[in-house]
Amino acid sequence: MTMALGVVTCAWSRTTYAAGSATPAALRRALDPKPAQPADVVDPANAPAPTGRARGASFLDLGTIRYLSPATPREFWLGLDFGGVYVPDNLIANFARDIWTMRLTFPWAVALTPWLSVGGRHELAWYDAENVRAQYSNQEVSIALSPTTWRTLPGVTQDRLEFGFEAHDMFRTTLFGDNGLRQVLHLGGIFDRVIYIGYGMSHRVRPKLSIDWNTQGRFVWLFINTQKQLRTSARLRWNPRPAHTVSIESVGFLIFREKVQAGNLLPRAGIIGQFAAQYDWMSKRKVGLFARAWFSTSFLSGTSPVFEIREEAINQPYGELSMGLRARW
């Protein structure tokens, strides 16, 4: 009788495993006295924020407005941007000249510690309207802290408390006469200086979707006058694949001017809007490319107050395309 039961039991076991209805691993999971509880399942939107190289590994934030910083000590972000626009004379009312602009920018950032980084932008630009060509430079340096590095907030991948300085100079102007004569003027007094303090965060709302925002207070010296600016911006960033990033950005400036600025009567207060769309790609060798389209309701007003010499410049919309390289190590 005992031998018969043993034969039946072995036959039943072989039949069950062969049919695939249960395996030793499956049986162990079924008999586990403590199965996974709902509280043990982590919502991707509230997962712990990635740190170090996992944070923005395929995206280097080196734009005019920065929401992210390198987080690994001695990690470098470098860029080379080339941008500009060409506008035929028939596209601008009451302006019978072709206009073209070109600029070359070297942005960079480096992490000193997981919560401290420094960065900057160094730019040369040319603005040509056939009879006059202006050369312009932009120098910017900033330091950024990440106060939440030591405590994780739900969905926050990084925050930035930033302090910075900007210098915009119109250092050379070339005048072209009708008879072919050219006069070069080396300018020393057309400039502005900006100091600012700002704060922003990056929120991961979905595994491939993030929202970044930044608010900045800016104080401007323009010639012998001053301005006060409040700038707010937001960016939606999507990573369809690890090496690819698509983003759209919206920026608003609220500007308060003195009654007389550079000897001209200008509006005491102004609102400026800017919009941008960008695509980034990063290779496995840590070198990538980007392309960006940018539009502003005013010709560089807010971004570069040195151009606010006349009201026509404030009221003139402007846009440009740019592309370039990105690298990190």
What is the residue-wise DSSP string for 59-84? ----SSS------STT-EEEEEEEEE
> Would you give the DSSP letter of residue 49?
P
pLDDT number for residue 152 = 67
> Would you give the DSSP letter of residue 306?
G
pLDDT number for residue 172 = 86
Closest among 134, 132, 135, 128 to 182, alpha carbons compared: 132
CB under 8 Å to 127, separation ≥6 — which residues?
99, 101, 133, 134, 136
Is the distance from CB of 276 to CB of 252 less than 8 angstroms? no
> Would you give the DSSP letter of residue 47?
S
- Kindly give the parts of the chain with pLDDT less than 70: 1-57, 90-96, 149-152, 180
> Side chain identity at 329, as an amino acid letter?
W
Confirm whether pTM is higher than 0.95. no
pLDDT number for residue 37 = 47
Q: What is the rounded CA–CA span in Å between residue 234 and residue 251?
A: 7
pLDDT number for residue 217 = 97
> Would you give the DSSP letter of residue 129?
-
Q: What is the rounded CA–CA span in Å between residue 67 and residue 212?
A: 6
| Assigned token pair, 130 | 């056939």
Closest among 255, 235, 248 to 298, alpha carbons compared: 255
List the domain boundaries for the chain. Answer: 67-328
Cα 202 from chain centre? 11
Q: What is the rounded CA–CA span in Å between residue 300 and residue 233?
A: 16
| Assigned token pair, 230 | 């409040």
pLDDT number for residue 82 = 96
For residue 281, what is the enclosing H or E element? strand 269-282
Closest among 198, 190, 268 to 227, alpha carbons compared: 268
CATH fold of 67-328, please? Lipocalin (2.40.128)
Is the distance from CB of 290 to CB of 278 less than 8 angstroms? yes
Closest among 93, 92, 86, 149 to 117, alpha carbons compared: 149
Q: Looking up tokens 């996974």, which residue turns up? A: 36
pLDDT number for residue 290 = 97
For residue 311, what is the enclosing H or E element? helix 311-315
pLDDT number for residue 156 = 84
> Which ranges of the chain does DSSP label H, i.e. alpha helix?
2-19, 24-30, 311-315
